[in-house]
Chains A and B, each alone.
Chain A
Amino acid sequence: MVKINTDLCTGCGGCINICPVYALVLSKQDKAQANQNCNDCKICVRACPVNALSL
């Protein structure tokens, strides 16, 4: 599952609507948060402008 560095995440939400399997939402702190749907496709990793996501 994709890992999220919440110190780097700006909460822009860009990854959320491009995730092909609806695996991302924003946490209560408005940081990206992944769920079990994640299939490690890396689209969000490539998309993140601040390199906050990794596998």
Chain B
Amino acid sequence: MAEKYDVIVVGAGFAGLMAAKTAGEVGLKTALIEMKHDITAQRRADTQMILPMGDDFLDDRIIFNGKTGLMSFAHNGLSFKYDGPYRDIYAFHLYSVDGNCLRFGMANEQKKFGDRGRIALALDKSKAFASLLNQVKAAGVEVFAGTAVKDIKKTDGAVNVIAHDKIFSGTFCIAADGANSRIAQALGFNKDRGYYSSMNVLGYYMKNLKVPDPDTVYYVIAQYENTGVITALVPRPYDNEHAVVFICLDCRVDLFKFYEYFTRETKLPWFKGAEAKLINSSCGNMWSTIEKPFKDNVLLVGDTIWCQESENFGALLSGGKAAMAIAYALDEGKSNEEGVTSYLEFWDKHFFNSPHYKRDQIMGNYMLGAILKNEEIDYLFSKLNMVLKASIHPYTLFGELGQALGGVVPDIQKEMPQVLAGLGRMQQESPADILKDAASAGFPNR
């Protein structure tokens, strides 16, 4: 008879590591399962080496102690220690390939406010994984690396997580296995969930990029082969080093070719003389958000439930909250949905039905490049050349932008009305409709 865990956590990204750490620390018998052998390696390319600071998100915010590395969620009391270098981020700028830009803050102005002027922290994500893994192990969690999960089955009084060579039995399971989650698939969540497309991502580390400011995150929005490609330049916490991530929601686009095109054709003088090394990649499905992240004693957290909107912040918080909800349920003797009400209410109130959360908003960046041509994006950014409030915050970022846009609509109507028509399409059509062609070439794991 296999030993039974209180909770089995599937996936050791930010959500799963925080879930396992929290569960272990409150005394739950916990297993953490991860398909990678080296949990600390960041092999999946993403732009999120950053944590937003100084603003509320999911009804909480992270308070960072730079002396000890302690990251605390102020409202929920959850915390973890980050043992690694960090860089303060002060602004977020979106560029067209032709060089006009939309600016959320200016770093030199924000720096005048000290720590309160920063909008995010850039971390070394591998070091963050390593820090969390140390805390997971110190909390007595049993870690099963190199273990890919295939299926999950509920029996009377237990959930059984079926890996390639082992079956794990637990009272609860936390599914933190990401955008292509096997658990969400096995539980049937993907059957009637909106599927947008399968994304294609390449991640490089680059040295000596000639960007205007070292403490600003830059996104370049391009149209390429009739679809949108985002190039994210995220400062790393090392001198003159960036993570440069190319993202496309049409998996047919060869991003190596885009890279050549982009670094050759762009008017942005950033890439000359830079050293680049391919580090990671990813192909992830873009699904619409799950309304209720619970089924058969499985709580879903992080990218498993949403379309990447909640970022590292939401992954960490949802992981910790789910673990605490399970601790409460077991203490109360309610190993069922009622026992974990606190997690489901948190999710519903502060995310799914939060007045701040706009469904599909994350798709906006991609839609811009999918709908507008490069010269139209450039024109639009040229009209929005004011400095907006410094932010990289997923809830509030676009609020001011709407107002600013309102002020230049008459000009655009006169000078380039097709831009307004394009923006109108973004408002009226769902991302699924706009991405229909790309989705037809995708690979949803329903």
Which residues from chain A sit less than 8 Å from chain B, CB to CB? 10-18, 20, 22, 24-26, 28-30, 43, 46-51
Contacts and interface: CB of A to CB of B under 8 A. Distances in A.
A29 to B, nearest CB: 8
B281 A10 contact: yes
Contacts of A13: 35-36, 43-44
10 contacts: A10-B278, A11-B36, A12-B45, A12-B280, A13-B43, A14-B44, A26-B35, A46-B441, A49-B201, A49-B281
A15 B285 CA distance: 11
Given A30-B38, A49-B283, 18 more contacts: A10-B43, A11-B41, A13-B36, A13-B43, A14-B281, A17-B181, A18-B180, A18-B283, A18-B285, A18-B443, A22-B150, A24-B148, A26-B35, A30-B36, A30-B41, A30-B43, A46-B443, A48-B283
A51 B200 CA distance: 11
Q: What does DSSP make chain A's interface, helix, strand, loop or mixed?
A: loop
Interface residues of B, number: 37
B43 A17 contact: no
Contact of B37 (A26, A43, A50): A26
A51 B202 CA distance: 11
Contact of B148 (A11, A26, A43): A26
A16 to B, nearest CB: 6
Interface string B21-65: 000000000000001111001011100000000000000000000
B385 interface: no
Contacts of A25: 35, 148, 164
Contacts of A16: 35, 148
Contacts of A22: 150, 164
Nearest to A50: B281
Contacts of A30: 36-38, 41, 43
Interface in B185-199: 185, 198
Nearest to B185: A17
A20 B190 CA distance: 14
B443 A47 contact: yes
A18 B445 contact: yes
